[in-house]
Structure 1
Amino acid sequence: MKKHVSVLAALAAVSLTLTACSGSGSDSEAVEAADLDAETQSLVDEAQDAGPVTLYSMVDEAVLREVAADFESAYGITVEPVRLVSADLAQRFSSEASTGSSPADLIMLTDSPFYDEALEEGWISSFAEAELPDSLAGDFPEDLYTHDGSTPMVSFVPTETVYNTDLVESAPTSWEDYADPAYAGKLQIAEVDSSPANVAFWSLMRNEFGDELLEGIAANNPTVSGGAVPGTQAVAAGEGALGHPGVLPVIKNLQESGAPVEVASMSPTTGPEVGLGLAENSPNPAGAKLLAAYLMSEEGNLRFNESASQISPFDAEGMDRFTRTADIEMSDAAELKSLMGMN
């Protein structure tokens, strides 16, 4: 089995860990949003008096800037995003919250045991106890409140495939294409156990297509990439025709630079779920609740997920092809690796 970790890929991976802290770029005066019910207007007034809202998130910075601009346009409240990858974000927030002095008002990161710890330690408060405007968050699906109703999952990140358009005549249409002998020696696949989401994905594939798919991939002698980012980079460089998983922000950047890469969306799929947390000692608790409610409203949620190229709970077609991790019969990671020839 071949191993590949390119210098460019490593640099790209490092770049994803950098923090990006910025406001909306303007200090707008407080304004009264139009056509709001009394409950929402009261929360808006309180949030405006408290100042900006600080959002900690793992989402791409460009997406956060769009969210900030939309929110300020609607409510006259500035959002100051702080962007980190999930692991670094959880570590930073945990360190700050344990001292009781975190500047964060609202956090947005992929679902993990972090939420249980944060709730137990009192770093975040439960949404089950939060009073959000019903006009905004009232239609949010009840089954998407996890951790005993404490944490709403507002976005679903589908696992996709990336392919090199110079090396693939037509877009893949099924995950079974990975086992097509035509792609022997042309696959870039991240380690099966490189993330919990990856283990969940290959478990889903095994459940759906059987061991034959995984054994077919092994027969194609895939290159095991150093991770999703270097694998995507390798496909862009022509070192593979198909890659798994594709990283959408990286793919978009590569496309802008003229790289011959594209994404194929196939069914079924799974991936990380993105949740919200209300900081317990928020400098602007009203702003945190208002921003959370906006992100949980159908309009705000659809706009956010469209910008992020992720699946909204209000997107019936997208949710139909997405299988939540809790609904997957999980396989042992070592067994999956063995079937795929990665031991």
Structure 2
Amino acid sequence: MIQRSYGKSAALTAGMAALALVAGCGGQASDERDPGAGGDEIQSIEEAAIEEGQLTLYASAGESQIEAMAEKFMDDYPEISVDYFRAAGTALFNRFATEAESGSVTADVFMPTVQPSFVEENAEWFVELGPDEVPALAEWPEEFQDEYTFEIAVEEVVAIYNTETVQSAPASWEDVLDEQYQGRIVLVDPESSPGYMSWYSIMQDRFGDEFLTGLAELDPVWVDTGAVGAQQVAAGSHDISLPNYPSHAVALIGQGAPIEMVTDLDPTQGITTSVALTANAPNPNAAKLFANWLTTQSAYEAVCADGVYSATVEGTDCLPLASNFVEPVWEVPGERQEEIVELLGR
């Protein structure tokens, strides 16, 4: 778990064009920064946020993504300093719950990448969202917003393969059951995280028990993280790793590793970056401003700079959202989990 604080005092460069991502954002060259949709309403929020001068984020995304967002926001708003606390899902939830139960909430914005149901299950700790709180939500895709959260980005499940040992990359999930991968496939343990368990559950629903038993019959090597799977494929000890994520591949590819990703497989699950505003936030206006700013092109330049994330809206330079995207299944019943593990021969 890491906590860092950043502060900037450099003057904002004037004259940059702002690209609108939602109706009402404008999108024309301006001498003023673009906080996003909202007109006079967001201007009032902006003034109050600058008066607060502080913002604290609690998030579980990769540290590089959080840092990029914090630094870009402070580039756009040098009057507001940003602190953040980053931890994996369960640790993040436990930290926030402890603070909320004691009445000492530190976070202004809460951004989980797994189990966004934590927010709805503890609704008293969060703000019900709408255009009054985040003006851009008036035009945000309905499938990517709920009563207490909205989603800005997706890291989609991919298959990672070695380009030197695999002659033809799989064109479907069922293709990975090919005998060429016998003893050459790396699978991530479904019990290592809810995201991976969700993927196996979705595969079982789509292709039946035979898909899971087919994976088991390939005599896979099991690992606890996609990062380890990607490294084994990059080293050439195995041909393919799944389920995996782009964040485990892009750095290796940049270093010249002989690996590629198979994307847009049907179905494609994705880990979503959700955004919630905390009740009794120390800086409620800064929270609203940041949430609205997350819908702008400026924010997406930071979120998607490393080539890992897809945006939940069109008109960005992020990776395109998979045509077969499906939401994760966060609440897989215990009996179902045991069944999945047994079918996989674990």
Scaled to the shorter chain, the TM-score interval is: 0.7 to 0.9
Which residue in the other structure is 1:195 paired with?
A: 193
Q: TM-score, normalised by structure 2?
A: 0.79
Residue 243 (1) aligns with residue 225 (2):
no
Residue 339 (1) aligns with residue 321 (2):
no
Structure 1 residue 46: deviation in Å? Answer: 0.7
Identity within the alignment, %: 28
Which residue in the other structure is 2:101 paired with?
A: 98
Relative distance call for 1:131 and 1:28 in structure 2 (3 A) is farther
Which residue in the other structure is 2:76 paired with?
A: 74
Give SS of 2:291's match.
Answer: helix
In structure 2, runs of 5+ residues without a counterpart are 15-30
**Cα deviations across residues 230-274 of structure 1 (Å, max 9, x unaligned)?**
323322333321111224333233334443333221232113333
**Cα deviations across residues 171-228 of structure 1 (Å, max 9, x unaligned)?**
3322122201001000110123333332332232233334443333222111121333
Separation in structure 2 between the aligned mates of residue 205 and residue 268 of structure 1, nearest angstrom = 8
The CA RMSD measured in Å over matched residues stands at 3.1
Separation in structure 2 between the aligned mates of residue 324 and residue 195 of structure 1, nearest angstrom = 16
Greater Cα shift, 171-180 or 298-307: 298-307
Residue 138 (1) aligns with residue 117 (2):
no
**Cα deviations across residues 98-141 of structure 1 (Å, max 9, x unaligned)?**
2222322101002424213432xx3322225x72353x332112
Matches within 5 A, 1:1-343: 18-23=1-6, 25-28=7-10, 33-34=32-33, 37-76=39-78, 77-112=80-115, 113-119=117-123, 122-128=124-130, 131-134=132-135, 136-146=136-146, 149-265=147-263, 266-295=265-294, 297=295, 299=297, 302-303=300-301, 305-307=303-305, 309-315=308-314, 318=321, 320-325=323-328, 332-340=336-344, 342-343=345-346
Alpha carbons 1:298, 1:314 under 8 Å: kept: no
Alpha carbons 1:203, 1:336 under 8 Å: kept: yes
Give SS of 1:272's match.
Answer: strand
Structure 1 residue 145: deviation in Å? Answer: 2.7
Separation in structure 1 between the aligned mates of residue 291 and residue 250 of structure 2, nearest angstrom = 27
Q: Between Structure 1 and Structure 2, how many residues are aligned?
A: 317
Structure 1 residue 322: deviation in Å? Answer: 0.8
Structure 1 residue 28: deviation in Å? Answer: 4.5
Stretches (4+) displaced over 4 A: 28-32, 326-331
Relative distance call for 1:327 and 1:46 in structure 2 (3 A) is closer
Q: TM-score, normalised by structure 1?
A: 0.80
Separation in structure 2 between the aligned mates of residue 327 and residue 234 of structure 1, nearest angstrom = 28
Relative distance call for 1:133 and 1:92 in structure 2 (3 A) is closer
1:140 alignment partner AA? W
Alpha carbons 1:156, 1:274 under 8 Å: kept: yes
Relative distance call for 1:103 and 1:117 in structure 2 (3 A) is same
1:158 alignment partner AA? E
Alpha carbons 1:161, 1:243 under 8 Å: kept: yes
In structure 1, runs of 5+ residues without a counterpart are 1-17
Separation in structure 2 between the aligned mates of residue 323 and residue 285 of structure 1, nearest angstrom = 32
Which residue in the other structure is 1:5 paired with?
A: none
1:241 alignment partner AA? D
Structure 1 residue 290: deviation in Å? Answer: 0.9
Alpha carbons 2:230, 2:248 under 8 Å: kept: yes
Which residue in the other structure is 2:21 paired with?
A: none
Relative distance call for 1:35 and 1:322 in structure 2 (3 A) is closer
Give SS of 2:139's match.
Answer: coil
Separation in structure 1 between the aligned mates of residue 191 and residue 68 of structure 2, nearest angstrom = 33
Greater Cα shift, 313-322 or 324-333: 324-333
